[in-house]
Amino acid sequence: MTERDDLDEALAVARQPDDTLADATVIVGRLPNGDLEVTDVGTGYDIAGITGKADPVRADGARMADADGYVDFGDGTRWALGGTKAAESMARESMAGDLIDQWAKTSNDASARSHAIQQAAREEFGLQDAAQWDTGGGWSPAVEEGQAMYARHGGVYRDFLAAQHAGTQQFLADRDVGSVVLWRGVKSGAHLPAATQVQARPLSSWAYQRSAAETFAGDQGIVMRAVVPAARILSQGTAGVGCLTESEMVILGGQLNVQSKGAGQWPDRT
């Protein structure tokens, strides 16, 4: 993990502060394309076009900041002075967005952070019966690195997941949703019986439209159907992780009763 990664993770929540949070040289900026960036002005980064003059830039920013610490330069870029309410808010938003992007990239595989997030789900929601990552014998370096990452930043990841689950549960409760029929397509595993029980990872991707699962299954794969209690739904694309174009819902794993059929074998109405 790089030093920059350490900075971003530490800025994410107040309960895991980094020394730089109280240092006025740290700023958080919203770029014209909408991205957020955490920057240390002390490195010489010049936000006002005064090359190499970090101290005057910091002083100018302090004079221009509003009561919360926001600095608006009027060019589509918005900054926040380090150590202010604005900096903390934008840093948290930046980190949350980064973690959402992380899920979109991969939920396991060779990503240590993804494995750390999976471990956070196991601990936060008591998913001790959830599947371990199958590496074909032994733990991969990414899994081991993920354990170390969780030991350091587990609180960030658990808060991230708990907030999504709470918001999603309220959304479903407001609409009196007790369970949801979800689908998952896999390219292998056609040996599974028609009705079975599977053991899923702590966080597992399913789709609320069968067609999305069939796309993942391909011609030779299988499509599983499960009736998932609302309490086991972590999030969907409007309330956290989950790709809207893939009709994705992320559920809390462990043992799950499913029905399975080969790709294209499900009747039109199920």
Domain range for 68? 3-94
Q: Which residue, of 154, 174, 194, is where some domain finishes? A: 174
Q: How far is it, in rounded angstroms, from Cα 39 to Cα 111?
A: 24
What pLDDT is recorded for position 125? 97
Per the CB < 8 A criterion, the answer to whether 146 and 116 are in contact is yes
Single-letter amino acid code for the residue at 161: L
> Is position 267 within any domain?
no
Low-confidence residues in the chain, pLDDT < 50: 1-27, 40-58
Residue 100: inside a domain, yes or no?
A: no
Helix or strand or coil: residue 242? coil
Tell me what pLDDT residue 48 has. Answer: 39
pLDDT at 109: 83
Q: So what's the pLDDT on residue 33?
A: 54
Tell me, yes or no, whether 195 and 128 share the same domain: no
Do 115 and 189 fall into the same domain?
A: no
Its pTM surpasses 0.75 = no
Q: Can you read off the two tokens belonging to residue 217?
A: 């299954």
Give yes or no: residues 165 and 186 share one domain. Answer: no
Same domain? 28 vs 90:
yes
What is residue 5's predicted lDDT score, i.e. its pLDDT?
42
Read off the pLDDT of residues 40-57 as tens digits, 9 standing for 90 and up: 444 333 333 333 334 444
Looking at the structure, tell me whether residues 85 and 121 fall in a common domain: no
Domain termination residue (choose one: 151, 174, 197):
174
Distance of CA 257 to the CA centre of its chain: 26
Q: Is residue 109 part of a domain?
A: yes
Cβ contacts of 223 within 8 Å, gap of 6 or more: 183, 184, 185, 210, 213, 214, 217, 260, 261, 262, 263, 265, 266
Please name the helix (run of DSSP H) or strand (run of DSSP E) that holds residue 27, with its range, or none: strand 26-30
Q: Residue 249: its pLDDT value, please?
A: 95
Is position 39 within any domain?
yes
Question: Among 148, 174, 200, which residue terminates a domain?
Answer: 174
Number of domains in the chain: 3
C-alpha–C-alpha distance, residues 142 and 128, integer Å: 20
pLDDT score at 238: 84
Structural domain includes residue 268: no
Q: Which amino acid is at 70?
A: Y
